[in-house]
Amino acid sequence: MLETTVSLVKTALDSDIVKHQVLAHNIANANTTDFVPYQLSFDSRLGQLQSKIKTGGQIDHADLSALFPRVERNLSAQGLNPKVALDLEAAKLGGNVLHYQAVIRAYNQMTSLLGIAIHEGRQA
Amino acid sequence: MGYLSSFAISASGLTVEKARLDATAVNIANIHSTRSIDGGPYRPIRVISGERGVSPFAQVLDTQQIASGGVQVVSVSQLEVPPRLVHEPSHPDADAKGFVHYPGIDHASEMINLITAMRAYEANLVALGAAKAMAVKALEIGGQS
């Protein structure tokens, strides 16, 4: 149980950093001509994983790879308006930082819970 | 997963946008230059940028290794613009008909380039700040919440 949470936290933090790199790359190329922005996508296994969690199934390491996003060109933007929307990218960036901080806070709360169990309920 | 590549991506963006600002500054500074190194009036320059590490970027991220993304200056090109002709027969650089060939620099487009580059520079700084905030927060892993 604990191991799953630790690997989940690790996957979440890593995918946040990848997301940040993709957003930073898009912003850096905001004025590059003919640049098609990148986006992240999750494969279809994510939906299966979600239903598995809902039904209370155990998550193994194979499931965790579904949580890691893939990097691909935002092809829907090609042709129509391939320009990078700076405001949108900055907004996603802000949300990403908050998510990163939230994951770390949740993890810290879990470890402090663990600390209470180690000290048999007494204050450390 | 390291932060160094995040910083490098944003830093490359800052470098390119600063080069763009420099190009605009050079163009505006030379708005009345009738003599250039290669003869004739000064010709405005543009910074052409391109993606750094285009093809490996997605693959590298997929394999969860250090990303080599970002942007780079591909070239600095001179624009082919017709000179601005001003009738000044007494000017030392006037042609046989008394016209002086001034650089055909478009004020409006230079100013637009300036503002776009400035905004893009700021956006890169925001991305850099976000990476920094994440790195600082990562130091709190395992601490008291």
Question: What are the pLDDT digits (tens) for B69-121?
Answer: 889 999 999 998 999 999 999 999 888 999 999 999 999 999 999 999 999 99
- Check if the beta carbon of residue B70 is closer than 8 Å to that of residue B79: no
Average pLDDT of span A57-83: 70
* Token pair 């709360």: residue: A109
- Between A54 and A1, where is the model more confident? A54
Q: Which of B51, B61, B126 sits opposite A29 (nearest CB)?
A: B51
As a whole number, the mean pLDDT across chain B is: 86
Give dist(CA B71, CA B13) in Å, integer.
6
* DSSP secondary structure letter of residue A68: S
The single residue listed with the structure tokens 């199934």 is A57
What confidence category does residue B4 fall into, taking pLDDT thresholds of 50, 70 and 90? confident
pTM score, whole prediction? 0.80
Helices then strands, counting H and E runs in chain A, come out as 4, 2
- Residue B76 or B1, more confident: B76
pLDDT of residue A4: 78
B140 in A contact zone (CB under 8 Å):
yes
Q: How many CB atoms lie within 10 A of CB B57?
A: 21
Residue of A8, A18, A27 best to disrupt the B interface, most CBs of B under 10 A: A27
Are B49 and A32 an interchain contact pair (Cβ–Cβ within 8 Å)? yes
Q: Cα–Cα distance between B101 and A51 in angstroms, integer?
A: 73
Residue B25 pLDDT more than 90?
A: yes
* Secondary structure letter of residue A80 according to DSSP: T
How would you label B17-55 residue by residue, b for 16+ Cβ within 10 Å and e otherwise?
bebbbebbeebeebeeebeeeeeebbbbbbbebbbbbee
Predicted confidence at residue B21, as pLDDT, reads 95
Residue of A nearest to B49 (CA): A32
Interval A15-60: pLDDT, tens:
899 889 989 999 998 888 888 888 887 766 677 777 877 887 777 7
Does the pLDDT value for residue A74 go beyond 90?
no
The pair of three-digit structure tokens given for residue A13, joined into one six-digit string: 């933090």
d(CA B63, CA A123): 44
Judged against a pLDDT cut of 50, whether residue B52 lies above it is answered with yes
Alpha helix (H) residue ranges in A29-85: 45-54, 61-64
For residue B60, pLDDT beyond 60: no
Cβ contact B67–A25 (<8 Å) = yes
What pLDDT does residue A78 have? 52
Does residue A64 or residue A7 have the better pLDDT? A7
Instruction: Yes or no: say if B61 and A22 are a contact pair by the CB < 8 Å rule.
Output: yes
pLDDT at B66 (0 to 100): 40
pLDDT of residue A76: 63
Quote the radius of gyration of chain B (alpha carbons, Å).
22
Please answer yes or no on whether B1 and A111 come within 8 Å at the CB atom.
Answer: no
Q: Which is higher by pLDDT, B117 or A84?
A: B117
pLDDT at A68: 77
- Residue B144: pLDDT band with limits 50, 70, 90: low
